[in-house]
Amino acid sequence: MHQACLKDTQVKINSEFTIIKKYLSGIGTSYLKSNGIELAVGDDCAILASKSKLLISTDTSVQGIHFLKSMPPKAIAYRAVSTALSDIAAMGGTPVAFNLSLVMPQIDSDWMKEFKKGLQKVSTEHKFPLIGGDLAKGPLQISVTVLGKPVKNILLRSGAKPGDLLCISDKLGQAYLGLREFRSSALVNAKTRPYLFPKAQILLGQTIAKHASAAIDVSDGIIQDLSHLIARSGVGCEIDIAQVPVADNKLKRQCLEFGDDYQLLFTVPPQKIHLLQSDIKSIGKKCHTIGIIKGTKLRVLNNPFKSIKNWDHFS
C-alpha cells in the first residue's frame, strides 16, 4: 500500500514538471542575458543581477471576476500579464522579467498551447522573459509578478502638488465596449481587442516620467484611482467630467466606471505641460487635461450622474 502511494505521487510530480517544461518554459529566453537574468525556469529560484532599483508588482486574475470563462486562452494569458505590467508603466519603468502562478481545474493540452501563445505574445512585445512560477490544481486563476527597472525618474502616486494639472493619456471605455461586443459576438476583432488584449503603456509611462509629478494607471475606475493618487499626495483635486474623453458619450458613465483600459492618469506642473504634450505627441500618443490639483478634497465638476461607482473586488 505504501509503495502504491509513492508511485501515484511520483506520477503527479512528473506530470507537473512535464507541463511546466512543455508550456511554461522557453518564453522570452532570448531576453534573459540583456535583462540581467542569470538563471530562470528550472531551479528553486531565478537569479537576477541588478545594480539598480527594482520595481515589483503582483496582480491576480480570477475566472468570472477578472476575465470570462469563454475568453480565448491566448487572451487570458496576455491579459493577466499585461494588467500586471501596467503598474510598471505607471511608474515609468521598463520590464525586466515576470513570474506566473497558474491554478487550473485540469490539464487541457489544446488550452495550454493557446495559453502559451498569449504568454509568448506579451513577452515578445515587451522583450521580457518568464523566469519562474508555480502550477496547482483548483479553480482557474493566474497570478503574475512583474519585475521592472526605472528608466530615469520613478513616478509615484505621492508627488502631486497644488497647482499641478491633472491629465489622462487617452479615452476611457474602449475596454467596456470591447467586453460588451465580446459577450454578444464571442469574436476577436478590432472592437473586442481592447478588452481581450489590453496594452500596458510602457513607452508612454517612460515619456511621462520625464515631466510628471505623480501617476497611476486607471484599472478600477477613474474616480477611485484618482482618489488613491490624491490621498497618497495629501492634496485635493477638481476634476471636470466634461473634459474626460470617453469612447462613447452615450455610455459615458459606464466608460468612467469600468476602468480596464489601463490608461495613465497623471499630474504635471503647469510650466512643463507644453513640453510633456510635445514629447507625448512625438510617440503618437495623446494627453488630455481634465482637472487641477487644489484644495483638500476631491470635487467632481460638471457631473451629470448622481454618483460614479468604483470597482470593488469584493462586491
- 311 pLDDT band (50/70/90 cuts)? low
% pLDDT > 70, the chain: 93
In contact, 131 and 40? CB cutoff 8 Å: yes
- Residue 116, amino acid: K
- The tens digit of pLDDT for each residue in 249-266 reads 999 999 999 989 999 999
- 65 pLDDT band (50/70/90 cuts)? confident
- 315 pLDDT band (50/70/90 cuts)? very low
Q: Is the pLDDT of residue 11 over 80?
A: no
- The tens digit of pLDDT for each residue in 18-61 reads 777 778 778 888 888 888 888 877 777 888 888 889 999 999 99
- The tens digit of pLDDT for each residue in 70-109 reads 999 999 999 999 999 999 999 999 999 999 999 999 888 8
- The tens digit of pLDDT for each residue in 205-221 reads 999 999 999 999 999 99
- Residue 8, amino acid: D
Q: What is the pTM for the complete model shown?
A: 0.89
Q: Is the pLDDT of residue 2 over 50?
A: no
Query: Considering all CA atoms of the chain, what is the largest pairwise distance in Å, rounded to the nearest integer?
Result: 77
Question: Across-strand partners of 55?
Answer: 148
Question: Across-strand partners of 95?
Answer: 148
Residue by residue, DSSP assigns 37-99 as: EEE-BTBSS-EE--SS--EEEEEEEEBTTTB-TTS-HHHHHHHHHHHHHHHHHHTTEEEEEEE
List of domains in the chain: 2-150 (3.30.1330.10), 157-301 (3.90.650.10)
In the 8-state DSSP scheme, what is residue 229?
H
Output the pLDDT for position 133: 84
Output the pLDDT for position 310: 66
Q: Sign of the CA dihedral 136, 25, 75, 66?
A: positive
